[in-house]
Structure 1
Amino acid sequence: MNFKKYIKAVGTGPKGNRDLEAEEVIDAISSILDNKVTQSQIGAFLIAWRTKLETNDELIAAVKALKKYVKYQKIENSIELGYSFDGRTNNPFLFPLYENILKEFFEKNKDVKELNLVISGDFLQPAKNGITTKEVFNSLDLKQHVFFFDRVEYLKELSDITPLRHELGLRTVFNTIEKLLNPGESEYGVTTAFHKPYVKKYLAMFKEYYKEVLVVKASEGSPEVFKDGKYWKEVNGEIVEIPFSLKDFGISYDKTYENITLEEALEIVKNPDEEIIKLAKFNIALYLVFAKRVDSLEEAWKRLN
């Protein structure tokens, strides 16, 4: 195997670069995860590939390559929440509140099919600092409705590249493809994007692994909504955009934090105020819609309250 040919394909320059074939992407990613190439070669390839800009077809192949290494454990009746693996600095995580909200919801709405939430996490990844899902989950005791998958256990090969990724200090293809690898074999998946081109990328990359994938415009690389936004899904080959406004549901939230600490984030969810609770319920309402447990946000909100 001559890994240098992949570096040359993506790192020669505008006139010499070419897109990689699916088999080449899978071979390159596999060589990286199997530690068959040097750290210098890996770094050169990842940076050059990012600079060239990965095509949708290359990203789809990269996801396939990663999924060959995933250790799966099925969580029935679940939706995967695709959080980014870099840090959160401006908002607390809301998912610690979801378990009790869902428990109460299903006790009162026995006609609705159960829904569990799957979240993945790992050590902090580039490109920014902050707190992670792993840190928060390890500080709490969540055992029902919210399931956490530690990448050290379900995809150790990628987790082991963390030191190299920090040494590079830049986003790479892994930042794009790591959020929805579905270790819980969930039926539905949702992640977040700010720019329309990435909506198309995420839907293309992940749709074959779920009944349906949705992309929501949310905060800090996670499918947690803190302000007005929208979500996208594919219907008959077309991307449909659905907007929402928090004020329509009586929610007025305008808090922001600067470099929120783990202790501050935990205190917020251990002693939540009314607005945080309403915000968490709104996010649950979105997930109930995404997983087709209810027909509309209005129905979900009414049932939750």
Structure 2
Amino acid sequence: MTLASHVRTLGRGPGRSRSLTQSEAHEAMTQMLSGDAAPESIGALLMLLRMKGEVADEIAGFVAAAQDNLPALPSIDLDWSSYAAGRTRGLPWLLLSAKLVAMNGHRVLIHGWNGADPAIRTGLADAEIPLVEYMNDIAPALDAHSIAYAPLEILHPALFHLLGLREKFGLRSCINTVCRMLNPARAAASVQGVFHPPYRELQQDAAAKLGWRNLTIIKGGGGEFERTPSKPVAGFGLREHLMWEQNFAPLITETTRLSDGPASDTTLRGLWDGSTTDMFAQNIVIGTAALALDTLGDGDALNTAHSLWDARRAR
């Protein structure tokens, strides 16, 4: 079956078109990643999905095909996706949160692409998180640091190409959601941020169809997995394969936007090494780490995150 046949399924018109099944979506993504599909068909399929609105079966099929297109990766405990553009947020405090989780003995793989925004890639050096340049660098980085950042263009060049079509379309496509859900090492726990709240349920449902075990999705700062400590946060996802939702109370009483909270002179390195004190930024880091630890099954995640923060410079 050609990609054009899947375009026809989506675009026959009112009363005749329908969504793709999970197996059809898997086949369509396999063709798009192969490099053999006509670019016109790829563009038509992705834009028809955008107009229709993708469903969980389609996302699950696309994700499974994208995973099948990857080589075997070393075992990790926590998958952490980072695909927001960062226009509505400040520094990437989430990097320090991920580092706290790694300090607790969990192997963490961050993967992502953030468009023209350099904040995440620049922040890696300040957070002392290794940025891998080749696939073979992932295992040594994890063995040495328990954490690594794998750029999508290195991790999955074919998927990166599809994501880059956004510049030609002028619109996002469902590939953004597929990237967030890539979970390249097939970890048992994953954390994801979204900018638009409806995607929380979509990704939750797709993960359930894929048989994932533990997942937390939040509407985070700029679309990243990063919580605002002055607001309640609604978590969606899975716990031990079952649908899960939980509301988390604010950590502080002041009402402040994420991008306005930390002082302008607070840096990732300064906050980590203690040369700068910024309680708002500190609560972003601790609160985000707590959500990740909860995903990993820590029954006292917030207290664990506080203890890790207090002990960070002794390690």
Say whether residues 1:82 and 2:81 are aligned partners: yes
| Structure 1 equivalent of residue 60 of structure 2 | 60
Tell me the SS of whatever aligns to 2:252: helix
After superposition, the C-alpha distances for 1:3-55 in whole angstroms (9 at most, x for unaligned) are 32222221233333222233322222122111212222211111012111222
What amino acid is the match of 1:137? L
Q: What's the TM-score once normalised by structure 1's chain length?
A: 0.79
| Structure 2 equivalent of residue 186 of structure 1 | 187
| Worse overlay, 59-68 or 19-28 | 19-28
What amino acid is the match of 2:110? I
Question: Equivalents in 2 of 1:58, 1:133: separation in Å?
Answer: 29
Shift of 1:68: 1.0
| Structure 2 equivalent of residue 152 of structure 1 | 153
Question: Equivalents in 1 of 2:172, 2:50: separation in Å?
Answer: 8
| Worse overlay, 225-234 or 148-157 | 225-234
Question: Equivalents in 2 of 1:162, 1:170: separation in Å?
Answer: 11
- 8 Å contact kept, 1:118–1:148: yes
Shift of 1:99: 6.4
| Structure 1 equivalent of residue 284 of structure 2 | 279
What amino acid is the match of 1:80? D
After superposition, the C-alpha distances for 1:203-243 in whole angstroms (9 at most, x for unaligned) are 22224454311222322111111242121244685543222
Say whether residues 1:133 and 2:120 are aligned partners: yes
When residues 206 and 237 of structure 1 are mapped into structure 2, their CA distance, relative to the original with a 3 A threshold, is closer
- Higher relative contact order (Cα pairs below 8 Å, separated by 6+ residues): 1
Question: Equivalents in 1 of 2:302, 2:93: separation in Å?
Answer: 21
| Structure 1 equivalent of residue 106 of structure 2 | 115
Question: Equivalents in 2 of 1:230, 1:42: separation in Å?
Answer: 35
Shift of 1:197: 4.2
Shift of 1:181: 1.5
- 8 Å contact kept, 1:88–1:132: no
Structure 2: where are the runs of 5+ without partners?
A: 131-144, 272-276, 311-315
Say whether residues 1:300 and 2:304 are aligned partners: yes
Question: Equivalents in 2 of 1:31, 1:266: separation in Å?
Answer: 48
| Structure 2 equivalent of residue 109 of structure 1 | none
- 8 Å contact kept, 1:81–1:190: yes
The 5-angstrom pairing of residues 180-219 of structure 1 reads: 180-193=181-194, 197-207=198-208, 208=210, 210-219=212-221
- 8 Å contact kept, 1:85–1:175: no
When residues 122 and 218 of structure 1 are mapped into structure 2, their CA distance, relative to the original with a 3 A threshold, is closer
| Structure 2 equivalent of residue 247 of structure 1 | 252
Residues matched between the structures, number: 283
Shift of 1:168: 0.6
| Structure 1 equivalent of residue 28 of structure 2 | 28
Higher-helix-fraction structure: 2
When residues 12 and 230 of structure 1 are mapped into structure 2, their CA distance, relative to the original with a 3 A threshold, is same
| Structure 2 equivalent of residue 93 of structure 1 | 92
- 8 Å contact kept, 2:75–2:185: yes
RMSD: 3.1
What amino acid is the match of 1:269? L
Shift of 1:116: 2.9
Question: Equivalents in 2 of 1:255, 1:95: separation in Å?
Answer: 12
| Structure 1 equivalent of residue 176 of structure 2 | 175
